[in-house]
Amino acid sequence: MGNKHSKGVLSSREERMVETFIDDICHQLSLDIRNSRDAQYYRNIGWVGFLEVYHDQPDSFRGSGRRGWGSAALAIHEKLLAEKQSRDFSFYHEISLDAPVFNENETPRIDLCGPRTGDHQNSVCFWDYLHRLSLQDQDAAFLACRLVDQETLTEIQRVYQWPPERVYRAFNALRSAMEEYLRI
């Protein structure tokens, strides 16, 4: 093995060891290598880390090679971790709501969102109340969800094939429940 390393040639077994190091480190760092394009990209980065150590410290791979393989595994880990951090940063940076919608359009993404109409606590309380209402009157709770989704009473009656009496009974029950909710 000592002779091959001085010439810079790896055996098939050593190549498989490097590939295994790279795959294990990718798994450890939660890098997705199921996609063949990403897998090849990460393997190339891992190989760069390995080859830097292999070419800078060829003597560390002689004999048992523990020092060389340990340094190589660490270099692979550092390269892949740096790439993961770079990708994570760019991913979060790219989807900023302050960024323009398109390069040609200066409108920030936040402007396309609807106006703020309430706070998180009110929303949580409202939906919790509707859930509790569903335990008492499923039709009233169902009607509330459909109305929140901007369906009309006529559409609800037609689409869900409810007779008019059922729609009006659910509507009146919902009205009473909402009046109770506002008193809370």
Query: Exposure string (b/e) for 52-85, b if CB count within 10 Å is 16 or more?
Result: bbbeeeeebbeeebeebbebbbebbbebbeebbe
Residues 6+ apart with CB under 8 A from 8: 54, 55, 58
pLDDT score at 104: 65
- Among 41-50, 65-74, 111-120, the minimum mean pLDDT is found in 111-120
Q: Which of 141, 140, 163, 143 is closest to 151 using CA atoms?
A: 143
Residue 57 main-chain phi, psi, to 5 deg: -130, 60
Q: Kindly report, residue by residue over 70-125, the tens digit of the pLDDT.
A: 899 999 999 998 888 877 655 454 556 676 766 666 777 677 666 666 667 778 88
For residue 144, give the amino acid letter: A
Q: Kindly report, residue by residue over 16-30, the tens digit of the pLDDT.
A: 989 988 988 888 888
Torsion angle, alpha carbons of 74, 78, 79, 81, to 10: 130
Q: Are 156 and 146 in contact, with CB atoms under 8 Å apart?
A: yes
Q: What is the pTM of this model?
A: 0.45
Q: Is 137 exposed, middle or buried (0-12, 13-18, 19+ CB in 10 A)?
A: middle
> What CA–CA distance (Å, rounded) separates 132 from 147?
17
